[in-house]
Amino acid sequence: MSSEQAPATRSAAPEPQQGAAGEEEAYAKHKKVYPREVHGIFANLRMLGVTVLLGLYYGVAWLQWEGHQAVLLDLPNRKFYIFGLTFWPQDFFYFAWLLVIAALTLFYVTALAGRLWCGYACPQTVWTEIFLWIERKLEGSRNQQIKRDKANMTPAKFRVKATKHFIWITFSLFTGFTFVGYFTPIRELAVSFVHWDLGPWETFWIFFYGFATYGNAGWMREQVCIYMCPYARFQSAMFDKDTLIIAYDEERGEPRGSRKKGTDPQKAGLGDCVDCTLCVQVCPTGIDIRDGLQYQCIGCAACIDVCDEVMDKMGYEKGLVRYTTEHAMAGVHTDIARPRTIMYTVLLLALTVGLIYAIGQRLPLELDIIRDRNSLYRETPQGLVENVYTLKIVNMDKQAHRYSLGVAGLEGLELVREKALIEVPGGEVFTLPVSVRVDPGVLKRAANEIEFTISAADNVKLTRTETARFLGPVMAR
Amino acid sequence: MNVNEYSFTSDFWSIWIIVLTVGNILACWWLIRWSSKKRPGEAEAGDVTGHSWDEGTLEEYNNPLPRWWLWLFYLTMIFAAVYLFLYPGLGSYAGYLKWTPQDRYAKEMEAADQKYGPLFAKYAGTPITQLAADDNALKIGQRLYVNYCATCHGSDARGVPGFPNLRDGAWLYGGEPEAIKTSILDGRSGVMPAWSAVLKEQGVDEVTAYVLSLSGRDADANKVAAGKAHYATYCAACHGADATGNTALGAPNLTDEAWLYGGSPGVIRQSIADGRNGRMPAHRDFLGEDKSHLLATYIYSLSNK
């Protein structure tokens, strides 16, 4: 982040413990952040994000599509169903492509609008939001929570805490179950879950993912963003002075100070900030936005919502804390179209159109040729030279096809075959050993390139041609 | 502490590794304790350390790490200690669980046998002649063939010199289903003795001429006649008086066009002069009865459509 805000980093530094142990004082004891509940337009937007994203996560797993689970990553059979499309490991290229697009989109959004991802869509935020909601329902407001945590353990406190953790853990396990449900058909998984005859790996991943959800959303929370998240650390490289950030208008707010309602701030020599510290209380990462832009800020806009409410009550103009840019704050025009955003737009468009086109043109047919390695070639009793290949015909289509096989590249090349057409059921890999013969007189080199072509009898477009080597003796001229 | 069979001849290296491993863990523990202490002259927590880069715009702060981070470090040490106690790692100490890769392999093989065994066993009761009409059985057979047989006999089963063609209907040990299965289960050993010492140069030439004539090829008539006499003395015992071979011995039929080692005059001459040693390995212990049954079915089907 830019230099002006650098000293602000201090504010978020947890106070080190001056414990009697002495030796561990270089490490800070974790201080729980109790974010105060907030209402407002951005809180509503986040709730919308949470509802839609969690709805998709928990819901899509149950959808069916043409007789199979709509989204199913079937690892044992190496087939990946995404609605109408079935991908094979050979298509992993598209997945890498998709990840590149996803990463670029993240950079693009960050350059334009800052940490929208962190504030509204990141799983860490989304699940933490739900966990906070459960916590508030059971433990009450921020003040009640702080008070309870300070108090001694009583049966009542124990009951509240136990209920909270029970609900958290149940919800986490359901999250883990849903996650596994994208890899094992979830309807079958539900049945085995009820009868408790899950496989060892299914059990492991349900508990592992459940534990991660419980730990990250229940206990780690902002620690994940501050200490563990790589994106939080490198997003500053995508920021510039035209990037949308959440900032406190220092000029308008300072000098801050409390006042009676109805006091004229100008007469009292005060700015608009009433120093109510609500912006600090609502902050999920426990920082003070008034200290300037900080890497701990996840851009959730809770401070905007709460400050606007206060400004309304005071009868001041909203937006003391607001979405703005460094340039706008300094009174300079904010550029949306700047080299990096233009580049991102062009790149993203090209990659997205390219991916859609590539998937549209994808041929559900693969041909792999494996040359026999036990001998270079052999001679038939008729004096011909013969090479042996194993063809793997991968029919990635859902229906069966009958394929014809041809070979070309040398004069008089002859394919030894049993059947004219090879039938391969849908979604199967067919292994076909074939021998190819030629009169050694036509061989000009020891290694010759030949071509195998398979093509579906019912669809000319379904044609694949692959090259192979044909080895043989070069006859003396 | 036991000195196990694959370790070094003395205990020294075992002790060396134990000392290094334990020493490293203790050193890590000491290092983390040492570096957690505040040193004189160090910046107060939360203050700048005085290190700055980029013309003073980037400054380093002495911000404390969270305490749980330290716990993770201790956790790795506890993990190491537990692991080294349970599993082999400390020199030649076998570990409390006595875990070995050999055991693990045996267990996984057993689990695989239990899982996949029934798939093969299902076909074991059906006679090969009947099973050869079952597409599924042939598919399994073909996969087994590609895994275990194709390296020598070729993916298309047409063989290479020294490794028989399995499609041509010429069988050294008989093409009956049971004979094929026996070849797979118990292997075969085909020995052709070397005759150069007995027949001498000229005798070998004459026998070669006679053998060529048996499959209808041109050869010097005088040599053929002389060769025929040698054949009756030395060769007919195994290859038969009519030269159609003997499947009990694995002696090839010399009147057809199938040549295990090649049919050119030079190669035939070499076979007679220097002899041949053919060996098909036994697969009974390795593949077992059920898989061999399916393999035999596939191979039988290749020449019996």
ipTM of predicted complex: 0.71
Domain that holds residue B148: 114-187+281-303
Give B30's Cβ-side CA count (13 Å radius). Answer: 6
CATH superfamily of A365-471: Immunoglobulins (2.60.40.10)
| Better-predicted residue by pLDDT, A368 or A419 | A368
Q: What is the mean pLDDT of residues A452-467?
A: 92
- Residue A7: predicted pLDDT: 39
A155-180 vs A41-60: helix crossing angle, rounded to 10: 60
Pick B63's closest partner by Cβ from A13, A386, A431.
Answer: A13
- Asked if A374 and B150 come within 8 Å (Cβ–Cβ), the reply is yes
* Alpha helices for A284-362 (secondary structure H): 302-314, 326-329, 339-360
Q: How many domains does chain B have?
A: 3
Q: CA A151 from chain center: how many Å? A: 41
3-state class percentages of chain B: helix first, strand second, coil last, to nearest 5: 55, 10, 35
**Does residue B294 share a domain with residue B171?**
yes
Asked if A378 has any chain B CB less than 8 Å from its own CB, the reply is yes
When mean pLDDT is compared across A377-386, B56-65, B194-203, the lowest value belongs to B56-65
Strands B65-66 and A27-28, sheet pairing: parallel
Over residues A44-69, the pLDDT tens digits come to 999 999 999 999 999 999 999 988 99
Over residues A179-225, the pLDDT tens digits come to 999 999 999 999 999 998 999 999 999 999 999 999 999 999 999 99
- Asked if A23 and B37 come within 8 Å (Cβ–Cβ), the reply is yes
Predicted confidence (pLDDT) at residue B64 exceeds the cutoff of 60: yes
> For residue A382, which of B263, B79, B239, B267 has the smallest C-alpha distance?
B263
Pick B36's closest partner by Cβ from A27, A370, A372.
Answer: A27
- Residue A25: predicted pLDDT: 64
Mutation site for B-interface testing, chosen from A18, A378, A405, A437 by largest number of B Cβ within 10 Å: A378
- Residue A6: predicted pLDDT: 39
Q: What does pTM read for this prediction? A: 0.80
Which of A:214-253 have CB within 8 Å of B?
223, 227
DSSP classification of residue B246: B
- Asked if A6 and B262 come within 8 Å (Cβ–Cβ), the reply is no
Amino acid at B175: G
**Does residue B286 share a domain with residue B175?**
yes
Which CATH number covers residue B221? Answer: 1.10.760.10
For residue B4, is it within any domain? no
> Which residue bears the tokens 């059921």?
A425
Q: What is the Cα–Cα distance from B291 to B287, expressed in whole angstroms?
A: 6
Nearest C-alpha of chain A: how many angstroms from B305? 11
Asked if B38 has any chain A CB less than 8 Å from its own CB, the reply is yes
Confidence of residue B5 (pLDDT cuts 50, 70, 90): low
Asked if A435 has any chain B CB less than 8 Å from its own CB, the reply is yes
When mean pLDDT is compared across A9-23, A338-352, A388-402, A440-454, the lowest value belongs to A9-23
For residue B138, is it within any domain? yes
Amino acid at B203: G
Asked if A441 has any chain B CB less than 8 Å from its own CB, the reply is no
When mean pLDDT is compared across A360-369, A409-418, B60-69, B256-265, the lowest value belongs to B60-69
> For residue A378, which of A470, A281, A441, A294 has the smallest C-alpha distance?
A470
Confidence of residue A20 (pLDDT cuts 50, 70, 90): very low
- Residue B4: predicted pLDDT: 53
Over residues A300-312, the pLDDT tens digits come to 999 999 999 999 9
- Residue A4: predicted pLDDT: 39
| Better-predicted residue by pLDDT, A369 or B6 | A369
Helix or strand (DSSP H, E) at A1: none
Q: What are the residues whose beta carbons fall under 8 Å from the beta carbon of B227, sequence distance 6 or more?
A: B206, B207, B208, B209, B210, B211, B213
- Residue A22: predicted pLDDT: 47
Which two tokens mark A181?
Answer: 């449900």
Pick B59's closest partner by Cβ from A6, A14, A379.
Answer: A6
Asked if B151 has any chain A CB less than 8 Å from its own CB, the reply is yes
**Contact (Cβ atoms closer than 8 angstroms) between residue A235 and residue A110:** yes
Which of B99, B132, B159 is a domain's end point?
Answer: B99
Which of B:196-255 have CB within 8 Å of A?
none
- Asked if A26 and B37 come within 8 Å (Cβ–Cβ), the reply is yes
Q: What is the mean pLDDT of residues A56-83?
A: 93
**Does residue B298 share a domain with residue B170?**
yes
- Asked if A381 and B38 come within 8 Å (Cβ–Cβ), the reply is no
Break chain A into its structural domains and give their ranges: 1-362, 365-471
Mutation site for B-interface testing, chosen from A1, A3, A380 by largest number of B Cβ within 10 Å: A3
